Structure 1
Amino acid sequence: MKSLLSTIFLLCIAFTVNSQNEKALAAFDSIYYDTAVNVSATNPTKALHTADSLYLYSDMEIQRLRSLMLIADLLEKQGKRQLSVENALKALTIAENIKDYQWQAKIYGFLSTQYRNIGFLDQGKKYLKKGIAISSKIENKQLASQFRGMTYQEMAYYAFEENKFKEAIENVQLASLSFEGVQNEQFKNFLIGNNEEMFGRSYTGLEEYEIAKEHYYKSLEYLEKSGAINTQWGAMSFQGLGNIFLKQNKLDSAKIHLQSALSIAEKTDHTALKENVYRNMASYYKERKEIDSFSFYDNKYNTILQENISRTKKSINSEFNRISNKKKATSNPNLYAILAVIVLGVLALLFYFRRKIWKLESVDTKESDEKKSTKIVLPQKTEDELLEKLNEFEASKDYLDNKISFSVLVGQLNTNAKYLSHILKTSKNRDYNTYINELRIQYIVEKLKTDSDYLNYKISYLAEESGFSSHSKFSSNFKRFVNLSPSEYIESLRD
């Protein structure tokens, strides 16, 4: 996961301040680490509240600085990159005022990560170079070495962006050497675990899967020692293993590791992690030919993918405005406008093709599964009971609830997805979406026929009344089933 390095930039000072005899920071450090690593993975809202409290009640500038960076890191995981960068820049101002070169270097590293994540690679590398330059002023050799290690990790992430996996391995090896002198055992295990995950990802990119698996397993061992196995870092290694087992068609092993990753991801607000986990879960069920579960995770994946791209676009727009305002007096704004348009265009195309390819890959699976579903033979008693439950569902008008979904209906009818798909196809000659949408249109048509007040309602109200999420979906389905637009049909009734 390309965004998690930012957290590591925040942690290393928490394990060295005591060596500088700053005993007053001991309690702060304990809360800080627990919030950054453990609480953020299980209760993101609580973590953000804790970080806010640390900032509000801190007596020292260094504590306020670190609290701001913790807030920035938590916001970044939630995809709120604009707010994240704003907090980081506030922290940078404090670091510059108190001449804390250690934190200046780390904040530059954090900012490098943010700009890399939105595709501003050149801007990101500029911040990384600033971090390297300022790190020469760090007197504490241990901290300086740790920062160099994290710089090598960041350089590995840039290599990942360009699919230069051998270069990534070289940088991770250099990072490992830089971390050898870390004295705190817990933090050292955490850093090594992170490095092992990056090795696993690199060898996966090189299609050397057995070597990659060894590194992923090592990552989990070290993360367990550090107490971070049930965090997003553990989820990354579980996901990496699950992905490899999928490629090797070892589906049982894939399921075990992907479910471990899913269990962790669902407890976090880490949107990029969820995107990858949902995509791999959809791939797993696609291989299993389980169409309903595939559709469930495919929908979750596409939803969060669209949300993440939308957030990234906002971040790009915000950064474009910031740069334009900052350099307006001395630079040609057209240059930045062109840059923003190019990046936004690339992102739009990326989203379009990622989604298009994914959907195209799913077509054959959906068609084959629908064919398979007709081969299911239900006991007559089961079929009769299910049909009776469907009749009760129709009579209850629960289909008007815009939150109804296939999985929800399966639960309401106390059946399973295959049985429901089969009965809809054989008895109703409909798939789920057609079945629900037709019921909704039939309902509103009946209302229009029997209650003249409905003829005066706005189309948007009719759409909402019948359970559709938008005016356009209502209108297209109305036209599909009635062969007239809603307005045309209403006029025909008035005549």
Structure 2
Amino acid sequence: MKKISYFIIITVYSIFSIQAAAQDPEAYNKLYTKVYLEISPKDMPLALQIADSLFSISKTPLFQTKSLMLSASLYQQQQSLTKAAELAEEAYKIISKTSDYNWMVRVSGFLATQYRMLQLYGKSKMYCDRALALVSKINNPEMVKSTMGLIHQELAYNDIAAKDYHSSIQHIRESQKNFDRISQNKDYLTADNEQLLGLSYFHLADYKRALYHYQNSLNLMSKMPDNIVKGLCYNGIAAVHIQREELSQAKHYLDSAVKIAGDSRHLPLKSEIYKTSQQYYLKVKDLAGFEKVRQKQDSVRDEMSSSRAQFLDSALIRMENKNQEAQRIIKARNIPIAIATIFIIVSISCFFFYRRRQKRRFAQFMADFEIRRKIPSSGSLITGSTNTTPEPATEVLISDDSQNHKAEQEQSATKKQGNQQVIPEETLQRILASLDLFEEEHLFTSANVSLSFLSTHLNTNSKYLSYILKQYKQKDFTRYINDLRINYILKNLKEDPEWRKYKISILAEKAGFSSHSKFTNIFKAYTGLSPSTFIQYLSGEETAGITAGNLL
């Protein structure tokens, strides 16, 4: 009965409030604030309904933009990042037709964050640049400084995702210069910058500075309730102590981070804390704890991937609709243009026939690639049943080639002698778990990876590692690293259109290959196509919808 009464009261109040807001900007702002701060924590569906009603009665571009951004913020709270981004894009189209630079910048900043969380860093950077170009046109000096600080902070997040930690530190310093000159939310924004400095210095292995900045952040938030930034600080301090082998101290901070993550819906926070937890359990040799956390992280990653895939799917649908509209326009053009089009089609038909075979190979390869991605144990890029791709080049495309070759010769000789490696079960499970982390963290993209390096990194010896790779990955060390690297490039080329704009030499460097030519040879051996041709076909598949079922 109480729930029914509450619903009736809220509904009646909302109807009158919305009607009042349609006439009075002050009433509009009060209702906007009430929905976001008071109604949404208690009744999210009602909050979304009111936000939608606000948009329907909004008479000006500003009110339409604000109501759309209210809905976008509510969907962001629910981690519905795709819906949040779509609403914000609609809001930007509306406000960009006005001279309200303040809201243009605010919407651009929101979109930059959404696309970063969707791991679409190219689009995130685009909106950051757009905000920087507009921020100087805002009349309010306080707003200019606050916005500039937030933009540089967002650019720092992008640099960290790209592993450019020196650049991220520069953006954070620039961000803080602006935050130092504002009055509202200064402590929280500064705390977030300190947390980002701690993370950057941690990745640079400067653990003393990392601890200093993490602690600064916690001090600034000492009187604030638990939040995402606090959780990241606790997690960062725990990670530092793990690196220093100070496991009891690491456990204390990790427990605090896990508590905050448990009460939060912020998936990136959960993912980071689960990653650190796995490292801790490996250090204390608690394989049961490791496996439990790993399952949680897999669940979070699946949810994050689902959000990103949902956005990409909707983007492809919009692209297909635009293509259909373009086709209708082409059909409506005059006869001379149609004749010219036919002439062009006839002229390229021979070339198309030549390319057809390559396209079939490409489509088959992508279909097989998608199947293998869904089967964690498959690992290799080569399919024995179809035999559609040749064996990879025998040249070792990692550093310390001679040492790797020698180690593999020793392994082969050992096998011919009939000797079997006897590895304790606990050691075996530890090495396999560490290999999983090695793959998840993309450490294979380092140009310095070698058999001896990886053995040292996993705290084992080359013979054990070679034996485990042969028995559990069904490949030697060279094949294992090349598989990981090519899979890494293929995954990013498929999922992030920005990668297709890189030069081949940049792709080679990102994957860890020592030269453009070596990368090209190995890539062609795996796919049957050169990197440039493969990218051309991949872009063509997504634009024209050819064999879309295989690619998505």
- Residue 438 (structure 1) aligns with: none
Match 1:192 to one of 187, 190, 193: 190
Alpha-carbon offset, residue 325 of structure 1: 3.5
State the AA in 2 paired with 1:233.
V
**Is the Cα–Cα contact under 8 Å of residues 227 and 260 in structure 2 kept in the other structure?**
yes
- Residue 293 (structure 2) aligns with: 297
Q: Distance in 2 between matches of 1:86 and 1:292?
A: 41
List aligned pairs for 1:447-486, cutoff 5 A. none
Alpha-carbon offset, residue 328 of structure 1: 6.3
Q: Distance in 2 between matches of 1:348 and 1:215?
A: 44
Q: Distance in 2 between matches of 1:248 and 1:111?
A: 38
- Residue 242 (structure 1) aligns with: 238
Q: Provide TM-score, normalisation by structure 1.
A: 0.56
List aligned pairs for 1:119-268, cutoff 5 A. 119-184=119-184, 187-225=185-223, 227=224, 229-268=225-264
**Is the Cα–Cα contact under 8 Å of residues 81 and 118 in structure 2 kept in the other structure?**
no
Give the aligned CA root-mean-square deviation in angstroms.
Answer: 4.0
List aligned pairs for 1:361-376, cutoff 5 A. 364=426, 367=429
The verdict on how the C-alpha distance between 1:250 and 1:352 changes in structure 2, with shifts beyond 3 A counting, is farther
Alpha-carbon offset, residue 294 of structure 1: 2.2
Alpha-carbon offset, residue 113 of structure 1: 2.7
Q: Distance in 2 between matches of 1:128 and 1:272?
A: 20
Q: Is there any run of 5+ residues in structure 1 with no aligned partner, and where? A: 1-21, 332-336, 357-362, 370-495
User: 2:80 matched to 1:84?
Assistant: no
State the AA in 2 paired with 1:115.
Y
Q: Distance in 1 between matches of 2:139 and 2:43?
A: 35
Q: Distance in 1 between matches of 2:366 and 2:134?
A: 30
User: 2:101 matched to 1:104?
Assistant: no
Q: Distance in 2 between matches of 1:237 and 1:343?
A: 41
State the AA in 2 paired with 1:288.
V
- Residue 303 (structure 2) aligns with: 307
The verdict on how the C-alpha distance between 1:54 and 1:114 changes in structure 2, with shifts beyond 3 A counting, is closer
- Residue 449 (structure 2) aligns with: none
Alpha-carbon offset, residue 316 of structure 1: 1.9
Please give the per-residue CA displacement for 1:207-248, whole angstroms capped at 9, x wherever unaligned: 1011111111111122234x2x40112111111111111111
Alpha-carbon offset, residue 74 of structure 1: 4.5
**Is the Cα–Cα contact under 8 Å of residues 153 and 172 in structure 1 kept in the other structure?**
yes
Please give the per-residue CA displacement for 1:80-136, whole angstroms capped at 9, x wherever unaligned: 222111221233245346643211112112222333344433333322222222323
State the AA in 2 paired with 1:247.
Q
Please give the per-residue CA displacement for 1:139-174, whole angstroms capped at 9, x wherever unaligned: 112112211111111221221122111111011000
State the AA in 2 paired with 1:257.
Y
SS in 2 for 1:207: coil
**Is the Cα–Cα contact under 8 Å of residues 234 and 257 in structure 2 kept in the other structure?**
yes
Q: Report how many residues are paired.
A: 324
Match 2:317 to one of 315, 321, 330: 321
Q: Give the % identical residues.
A: 24
Q: Distance in 2 between matches of 1:272 and 1:192?
A: 20
Q: Is there any run of 5+ residues in structure 2 with no aligned partner, and where? A: 1-24, 328-358, 380-424, 432-552
Please give the per-residue CA displacement for 1:178-219, whole angstroms capped at 9, x wherever unaligned: 1122122xx111110111111111111111011111111111
Q: Distance in 2 between matches of 1:254 and 1:342?
A: 45
SS in 2 for 1:224: coil
State the AA in 2 paired with 1:243.
A
Please give the per-residue CA displacement for 1:380-419, whole angstroms capped at 9, x wherever unaligned: xxxxxxxxxxxxxxxxxxxxxxxxxxxxxxxxxxxxxxxx
List aligned pairs for 1:319-398, cutoff 5 A. 319-326=315-322, 364=426, 367=429
Q: Distance in 1 between matches of 2:244 and 2:65?
A: 47
The verdict on how the C-alpha distance between 1:94 and 1:320 changes in structure 2, with shifts beyond 3 A counting, is same
Please give the per-residue CA displacement for 1:278-315, whole angstroms capped at 9, x wherever unaligned: 22223222322223322221211122222222322222
Please give the per-residue CA displacement for 1:34-81, whole angstroms capped at 9, x wherever unaligned: 57xxx99xx6x7567546546646987656644543442453454422
Q: Distance in 1 between matches of 2:202 and 2:373?
A: 22
Q: Provide TM-score, normalisation by structure 2.
A: 0.51
SS in 2 for 1:113: helix
Please give the per-residue CA displacement for 1:244-296, whole angstroms capped at 9, x wherever unaligned: 11111211211121111111111122122212222222322232222332222
Alpha-carbon offset, residue 367 of structure 1: 4.6
